[in-house]
Amino acid sequence: MIRGLDTVQRNIDIIQKKQENLSTDAANIQTPGYKFQQLIQSTLEEKDLVNHIGGPKLNQKNQIGPFTFGNQIDEVYRDFTPGVIETTHSETDLAITGDAFFTVRTPTGETLYTRNGHFTVNQQHQLVTQEGYPVLAVNGDPIQVYADHFSINNDGTVSGTGQRLRLTSFAEPANLTSVGDTSFTGTGGFEANNSTITQYTLEQSNVEMADVMVDMIQIAREFESNQKVLHTIDETLQKATNEIGKT
């Protein structure tokens, strides 16, 4: 019976993690460049159950059969499928066509990669993220924007400066580590050669709200099923306790 409680508790913990993950995806449906993530789970290995209530003295080993003690989360998978590119009215909005990432630098010197091209210009005339992180050029310097109006070519070259955006690709983007909602860290990046930049556009989140709603319904059903199992175990334990008390 205790095993059953452990199994139900494990399942409920997984359901809660799924719920939290879906809530994060739903909250970022309007976040440019956001990539939804999935929890990959597997079934635990079967175990052979036995008791010792066989024989005339109820002390012989008795094979009950195999039993699976629930599921487990194996990994969190980030889906880098491109989002829809929409036109905006801001010259600091940029979108990437291809698998590359913008390259930015934090105040601590850490290099981050993002598909969120919703940039702005700071007081130092640098192109920066909404967090204020400078967007890097190929040579590693911050992109400088001096004119009131500027243009960026498809290859990422900023007009009048000679600077070109550093676009970084990865052989296995799924191996990147999330830092916040739209930024990532990782190693093995190389200069992108199959991506282009479009100005006055933004890549939208790749979250499909219809899929989120379907998953929410499925999670609600899983939770309801586990609640019923938990209720049954509770009733069984109460009955056993009452009967033991009468003997």
Q: Where are the domains of the chain?
A: 2-79+207-246, 85-203
What is the pLDDT at residue 18? 83
What is the pLDDT at residue 213? 82
> Over the stretch 148-206, which tens digit does the pLDDT of each residue have?
788 999 999 998 888 999 999 999 998 999 998 999 999 999 999 889 999 999 999 99
The candidate with the shortest Cα–Cα distance to 34, out of 169, 170, 176, 182, is 182
Q: Is the pLDDT of residue 246 over 80?
A: no
- Which pLDDT band holds residue 1 (cuts at 50, 70, 90)? very low
Can you give the pTM of this predicted structure? 0.76
> Over the stretch 26-77, which tens digit does the pLDDT of each residue have?
999 999 999 998 877 666 566 665 666 666 656 666 666 665 556 666 677 8
- For 180, counting Cβ atoms within 10 Å of its Cβ (0-12 exposed, 13-18 middle, 19+ buried), the class is exposed
> Over the stretch 96-137, which tens digit does the pLDDT of each residue have?
999 999 999 999 999 999 999 999 999 999 999 999 999 999
Cα(183)–Cα(195) distance, rounded to whole angstroms? 18
What is the overall mean pLDDT for the chain? 83
> Over the stretch 201-241, which tens digit does the pLDDT of each residue have?
999 999 998 887 887 788 777 767 766 666 665 666 566 56
What is the pLDDT at residue 226? 63
Sign of CA dihedral 173, 175, 180, 184: negative
**CA atoms within 13 Å, Cβ hemisphere of 91:** 12
What is the pLDDT at residue 87? 97
What is the pLDDT at residue 67? 56
Cα(207)–Cα(145) distance, rounded to whole angstroms? 32
